[in-house]
Amino acid sequence: MNITFSQVESLRSSLTQVGAKPDVLFYAFHTRLSMLTPTMRLIIAGDLRERGEALFQLLITAVDHIHDRPLATASVWAFNEWLSSYGKARIKDEVVKEALLWALGRVLGIEMFPLVLLAWCDLISRLREIDQELGDLYYVETTYVACPPPALHVTLN
């Protein structure tokens, strides 16, 4: 899945609307994920705005680094770390994609034109592909360990 530069610009433009309502983004994401998968319910600790701001920053990072494989991989790991509060949820999970798109739709409203929706779908699909490629190499129970520096090579026995 390739993300075009015009799609990145569409995503950046839509992020200005999302950044104005990070608490709404998080609450919509959390509500939808809980509805789709009740076993992933999370007791919301802390301020909705803080949790939403963290999710917003993850989206900014993913958009800004989607064309840089090592940084895109780091974005996936950061997403998965953030999602670890939901148990074994990962960016590659279909319910996470659906909940994230639903939340973005709630924040962006009916103004979310088909091209913007397609750009978000493509971005999330690309992040899911990267997560799928990573597999469970560094997944330990519900926590992700730090990504090894690019110079290190991991050998599995």
Residues 31-80 pLDDT 10s: 898 888 877 666 555 677 788 899 999 999 999 999 998 899 999 888 88
pLDDT at 111: 62
Confidence of residue 82 (pLDDT cuts 50, 70, 90): confident
Q: Taking all residues of the chain, what is their mean pLDDT, rounded to a whole number?
A: 79
pLDDT at 45: 58
pTM: 0.78
pLDDT at 150: 38
Whole-angstrom Cα distance, residue 149 to residue 157? 20
First to last CA, the chain: 31
Q: What are the structural domains, with CATH classification, of the chain?
A: 5-144 (1.10.490.10)
Confidence of residue 145 (pLDDT cuts 50, 70, 90): very low
Whole-angstrom Cα distance, residue 74 to residue 34? 26
Q: What percent of the chain is predicted at pLDDT more than 90?
A: 29
92-117: per-residue pLDDT in tens? 888 889 999 999 988 888 666 788 88
